[in-house]
């Protein structure tokens, strides 16, 4: 079966076509994967402006659907279903993607699938890796930080979540304070490579506490206070701060995952979401998984940040179970797993 997936919940307009056999096995083929990143539109504001994002999605979406079909050398009639992110996210953008998908589905009499963006991240690993349900998932993105047991599409148990900020947001804030631009995660990771991770001692909220919840607001404040004391021309100190910040995040994520593996033992720990693109953090999670008798599996870096393939793949997993949606589905700004 072939599913076209549309992702427009934040600042990436993305369309992909994924193919997989019927059944329930992991493993699919990405026939097309096009992404238009709106970073240049938002850069000068230092973050995503919802109104600008919605307008840019609207301008690009039809052209990107055409590009994806051309890349896959397919026509709309070769598709089995049309999927789009139905939430959570910036509602203007979600509406653009959902309307585009509904239009295509209605015109060609194909099933429509409204995908929870978080479920998209949660299932992506099965598109490229042989991972069977259930598995333990650390979902770390710009808006979310959660530990979950994933049993299948729509079948999740949450073990813990952040009580304040998301970890990606904390990366973005750190980058902004250091004037590294937007989005911040990749810039912080790059600068941290040359830094001394032991130089700055930053707070590790929730570290060694019971349970699997997270907190990052104290760390954000501590980074701000440290930056205020830095000489902006001291490149060495800036790199050391990035490295120390990243190590601190690594300490916290590893500690929380160790607790999760104790509470809900699993042979597989999966990390997903934009922050999963961070190779240093992957290394830390690999260590903690190995120490607790599990193996870490992550999607390819390119599929960690928002993309259409994750929505198309979640669409395939849902279509296989007959979990399609009606055309009166209403986009959801909030939609917990």
Cβ-count burial of 109 within 10 angstroms (0-12 exposed, 13-18 middle, 19+ buried)?
exposed
305 binds ligand KG4 (CB under 6 A): yes
Distance CA(120)–CA(235), nearest Å, equals 38
By rule CB under 6 A, what count of residues binds ligand KG4? 20
CA distance 256 to 247: 14
Binding partner of 331, given Zn ion, ligand KG4, none, CB within 5-8 angstroms per partner class = none
Contact flag: residue 149 with Zn ion (CB under 5 A)? no
Nearest distance from residue 200's CB to ligand KG4, in Å?
A: 18
19 vs 306, beta carbon nearer ligand KG4: 306
Q: Which is nearer to ligand KG4, 111 or 205 (CB)?
A: 205
Beta carbon nearer to ligand KG4, 119 or 169 = 169
306 lies in the site for Zn ion, by CB under 5 A: yes
> CB under 6 A: which stretch of 63-71, 73-81, 123-131, 269-277 binds ligand KG4?
269-277
195 vs 315, beta carbon nearer Zn ion: 315
Nearer to ligand KG4, 93 or 111 (CB): 93
* Strands 135-140, 268-272: pairing kind: parallel
- Which stretch of DSSP H or E encloses residue 176? helix 167-177
Binding residues among 116-135 for Zn ion as defined by CB under 5 A: none
Residues 6+ apart with CB under 8 A from 327: 102, 105, 106, 112
Residues between 2 and 41 with contacts to ligand KG4, criterion CB under 6 A: 10
Contact partners, residue 112, CB within 8 Å, separation at least 6: 81, 82, 83, 84, 101, 102, 105, 106, 324, 325, 326, 327, 329
Q: Report how far residue 86's alpha carbon sits from residue 98's, in angstroms, rounded to the nearest whole number.
A: 6
Contact 129, 313 (CB under 8 A): no
Query: Is 141 a residue that touches ligand KG4 (CB under 6 A)?
Result: yes
Site for ligand KG4 in 156-185 (CB under 6 A): 168-169, 171-172, 183-185
12 binding Zn ion? (CB under 5 A): no
Q: Which of the ranges 53-61, 214-222, 243-251, 304-312 carries the binding residues for Zn ion, by CB under 5 A?
A: 304-312
**Cβ-Cβ contacts under 8 Å for 192 (sequence gap 6 or more):** 239, 242, 243, 245, 246, 280
* Least gap, CB of 169 to ligand KG4 (angstroms): 6
Q: How many CB atoms lie within 10 A of CB 231?
A: 9
Choice from 142, 160, 250, 308 touching ligand KG4 (CB under 6 A): 142
Chosen from Zn ion, ligand KG4, none, partner binding at 26 (C-beta under 5 to 8 Å by type) = none
User: Shortest distance, CB of residue 186 to ligand KG4, whole angstroms?
Assistant: 4
Instruction: Please tell me whether 218 is known to bind a ligand.
Output: no
DSSP state of 171: H
Q: Respond yes or no on whether the N-terminal peptide bond of residue 134 is cis (omega within 30° of 0).
A: yes
**What's the rounded Cα separation, in Å, for the pair 33 and 6?**
10
User: Are β-strands 81-87 and 12-19 bridged in parallel, bridged antiparallel, or unpaired?
Assistant: unpaired
- How many residues line the site for Zn ion (CB under 5 A)? 2
Answer for which of 33, 128, 141, 307 binds Zn ion (CB under 5 A) is 141
Residues 182, 217, 150, 10, CA torsion sign: negative
- Least CB distance to Zn ion at residue 89 (A): 8
Q: What are the binding residues for substrate?
A: 139-143, 172, 185, 189, 278
Q: What are the binding residues for Fe cation?
A: 117, 121, 306
Q: What are the binding residues?
A: 117, 121, 139-143, 172, 185, 189, 278, 306
Residues within the interface to ligand KG4 (CB under 6 A): 10, 141-143, 168-169, 171-172, 183-186, 189, 273-275, 277-278, 305-306
């Amino acid at each position: 079966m072939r599913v076209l997936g549309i992702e427009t919940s934040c600042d990436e307009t993305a369309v992909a076509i994924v193919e997989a056999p019927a059944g329930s096995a992991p493993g699919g083929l990405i026939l097309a994967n096009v992404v238009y990143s709106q970073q240049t539109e938002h850069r000068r504001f230092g973050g995503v402006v919802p109104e600008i994002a919605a307008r840019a999605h609207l301008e690009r979406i039809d052209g990107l659907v055409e590009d994806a079909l051309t890349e896959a050398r397919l026509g709309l009639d070769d598709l089995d279903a049309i999927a789009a992110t139905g939430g959570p996210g910036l509602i203007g953008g979600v509406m653009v993607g959902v309307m585009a998908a509904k239009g295509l589905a209605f015109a060609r009499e194909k099933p429509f699938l409204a995908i929870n963006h978080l479920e998209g991240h949660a299932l992506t690993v099965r598109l490229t890796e042989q991972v069977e349900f259930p598995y333990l998932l650390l979902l770390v993105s710009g808006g979310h930080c959660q530990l979950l047991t994933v049993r299948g599409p729509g079948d999740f148990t949450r073990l813990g979540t952040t009580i304040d900020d998301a970890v990606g947001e904390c990366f973005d804030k750190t980058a902004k304070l250091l004037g590294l631009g937007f989005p911040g995660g990749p810039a912080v990771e790059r600068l941290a490579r040359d830094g001394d991770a032991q130089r700055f001692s930053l707070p590790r909220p929730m570290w060694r506490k019971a349970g699997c919840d997270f907190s990052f607001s104290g760390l954000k404040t501590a980074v701000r206070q440290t930056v205020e004391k830095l000489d902006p021309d001291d490149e060495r100190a800036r790199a050391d701060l990035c490295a120390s910040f990243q190590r601190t995040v690594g300490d916290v994520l590893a500690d929380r995952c160790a607790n999760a593996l104790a509470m809900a033992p699993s042979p597989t720990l999966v990390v997903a979401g934009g922050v999963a693109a961070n190779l240093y953090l992957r290394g830390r999670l690999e260590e903690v998984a190995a120490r607790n008798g599990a193996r870490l599996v992550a999607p390819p870096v390119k599929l960690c940040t928002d993309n259409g393939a994750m929505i198309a793949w979640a669409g395939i997993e849902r279509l296989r179970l007959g979990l399609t949606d009606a055309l009166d589905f209403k986009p959801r700004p909030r939609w917990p797993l």
